[in-house]
């Protein structure tokens, strides 16, 4: 089903992202493993079934890194068929102790990156008229909240709303 199709997984260097990479590769996808740590992305890419996998170092919260990923994808000659937005961070503190920087860092990585990456691959898919699946990883914390995680809960709830709205918009395209 995914034979030789290009899949991008952010946060693919470890944890859930790494496991997603393994499943996609086992289904025949060619992966771009995107991670903040190049060494982690390389380790994941080297351990995947199949070949043609690439490691890509990026900070998903930085627009320039997203542009660099876009350029890298275009150099491969194939539009992405799958984007999995899995990169995420926590910077826990109670509401009264949370700094503006803790709040903003989590918003940028966990939510703004999903907007930037989804917009980038959706534009490419529409231009090339290629099928595309976007998977955004959230958390139960986005529905029920968690002590000391107002920033994280806000982002994961935002991911749910973003995904529902983007799906309605993109389904017609």
Burial code (b: 16+ CB inside 10 Å, e: under 16) for 48-82 equals bebeebbbbbbbbbeeebbeebbeebeeeeebbbb
127 annotated active-site: no
- State yes or no: pLDDT of 1 exceeds 80: no
For the residues of 8-27, what is the DSSP string, one character each? EEETTTSHHHHHHHHHHHHT
As a whole number of angstroms, the distance between CA 114 and CA 110 comes to 7
CA distance 88 to 103: 13
Which of 80, 112, 152, 163 is the catalytic position?
Answer: 152
Task: Report pLDDT digits (tens) over 64-77.
Answer: 999 999 999 999 88
46-92, pLDDT tens digit by residue? Answer: 999 999 999 999 999 999 999 999 999 999 888 999 999 999 999 99
Report d(CA 113, CA 11) in Å as an integer: 11
User: What was the pLDDT predicted at 87?
Assistant: 98
**Which residue segments constitute the domains of the chain, with CATH numbers given?**
6-170 (3.40.50.720)
Cα(168)–Cα(30) distance, rounded to whole angstroms? 28
């Amino acid at each position: 089903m995914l034979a030789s199709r290009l899949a991008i997984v952010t946060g693919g260097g470890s944890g859930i992202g790494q496991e997603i990479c393994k499943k996609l590769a086992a289904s025949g996808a060619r992966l771009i493993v995107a991670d903040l740590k190049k060494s982690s992305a390389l380790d994941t890419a080297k351990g995947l079934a199949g070949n043609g996998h690439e490691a890509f170092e990026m900070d998903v919260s930085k627009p320039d890194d997203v542009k660099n990923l876009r350029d890298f994808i275009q150099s491969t000659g194939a539009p992405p068929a799958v984007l999995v937005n899995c990169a995420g961070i926590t910077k826990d503190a109670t509401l009264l102790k949370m700094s503006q920087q803790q709040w903003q860092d989590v918003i940028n990585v966990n939510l703004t990156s999903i907007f930037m990456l989804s917009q980038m691959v959706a534009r490419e898919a529409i231009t090339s008229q290629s099928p595309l699946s976007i998977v955004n990883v959230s958390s139960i914390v986005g529905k029920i909240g968690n002590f000391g995680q107002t920033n994280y809960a806000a982002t994961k709830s935002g991911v749910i709303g973003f995904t529902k709205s983007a799906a309605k918009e993109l389904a017609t395209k």
